[in-house]
Structure 1
Amino acid sequence: MMILRYSAASPYARKIRIAAELLGLAGRIEIVAASTTDPNDTLRRQNPLGKIPALVLEDGSALYDSRVIADYLDHLGGGKLIPAAPGRFDVLRLQALGDGVNDAALLIRYETATRRPELRDQDAIDLQQGKIDRALAVLEASPPAGPVDIGQIAVACALGYLDLRFEGAWRGKHPRLAAWLQDFATKVPAFEATKA
């Protein structure tokens, strides 16, 4: 059995959990919490970067970075979430956009939640917020469409993370995107089931 090292709040781990469910692989993966800050957690041996998610394969080797794990699971599951051409790079670009929103949101979260107030860098926060705002504007203008794929999963997980950590402040300016997320959640029960 494979082992997914994760944290319930991680949008990247959530992406993998949803993908595994949609690919019919969830029963082949044991979900095991990891501490990225504990030097004694085996995570650092499984992924030298000490990051989640990490997927420990049955032979004991590990894959890390959610994009690599998603590609591997999609390969095992018959290629349902990452299509071949045409459309492959549209899906991968959408995944990169969703993951990029998560990257920026996590940097803001670290800056505001872990640094003492007097050490916070507002310019750094504003830089990351600009990335999120531009990505959301693109998604609002043209919400994802078509069959559920890894790009849509990544975007949904990014929006879910913004809801979790930033009280859904994005929703007021992005009604089409909020409606898309509601539709996604209806079509993909694993989205709600993996909510932190």
Structure 2
Amino acid sequence: MKLFYAPTSPFARKVRVTAHELQLGDRIKLVLVNPWSDAELRSLNPLAKVPTLVRDDGQVLFESALICEYLDHIAAGGLYPAPGEARWSALLRQGIADGISAAAGRLFADERRPADERSSSVMQRQAAAIEAGLDRLERDAGTLSRELADIGAVSAACALGYLDFRWPERAWRDGRLELARWFDAVGQRQSMIATQHHLP
């Protein structure tokens, strides 16, 4: 398999962490791309976004949630609980964490626009989504797996790592002691160390 990724993307990191946790790293060739300009990526994925996975049979998958579930399937399970409350909770946390990552990415891009091209209302909405999402994760921090044993925990770890990468000066940990402790613990896992964000 080939995974097209960018080292700044929290969604690509989520797939890479998932692959590590499922012991699939040696089956995936990583292809570093610039999503804004890579012609091969555009030919594979009409959205020209990372992550994009080319399966062994040549079929192409994109969107991190789909790729992660596919990897879990070929690894014979592990990160997705059986249908029931545990599964709905894991998927809900994935949705919250992915929403934080998406809002953070949009806000980061907007902050770098010329002042006359920004929308203060949109930026405020993105910032509010990040804060509310973090508060929800803090509320649930005691139930998050320190072994990254489900997709909700993987997604949360990658969202928090993205905030540290893009805004190291912003104190998301303030008032969120349990979430900060959890993230400090899971940040020591090899899957997180091996996939740290960096500029290309």
- Paired position in structure 2 for 1:54: 52
Aligned residues: 192
Distance, in Å, in 2 between the alignment partners of 1:145 and 1:96 is 14
- Paired position in structure 2 for 1:191: 192
Gaps of at least 5 residues in structure 1 are none
- Paired position in structure 2 for 1:74: 72
Task: Point out 4+ residue stretches in structure 1 off by more than 3 angstroms.
Answer: none
Select which of 149, 170, 173 maps to 2:172.
Answer: 170
- Paired position in structure 2 for 1:35: 34
Given that 1:46 and 1:61 are in contact with CA atoms closer than 8 Å, whether structure 2 keeps it comes out as: no
| Deviation of the 1:189 alpha carbon | 1.5
Q: Secondary structure at the match of 1:42?
A: helix
1:103-141 residue CA offsets vs partner (Å, 9 max, x unmatched): 11011011012x112221111111011111111111112
Distance, in Å, in 2 between the alignment partners of 1:11 and 1:149 is 17
1:36-71 residue CA offsets vs partner (Å, 9 max, x unmatched): 111x52001111111100001122221000000001
Percent of aligned pairs sharing the same letter: 37
Gaps of at least 5 residues in structure 2 are none
- Paired position in structure 1 for 2:63: 65
Distance, in Å, in 2 between the alignment partners of 1:124 and 1:169 is 21
- Please give the TM-score of this superposition, normalised by the length of structure 2: 0.92
- Please give the TM-score of this superposition, normalised by the length of structure 1: 0.93
- Paired position in structure 2 for 1:129: 127
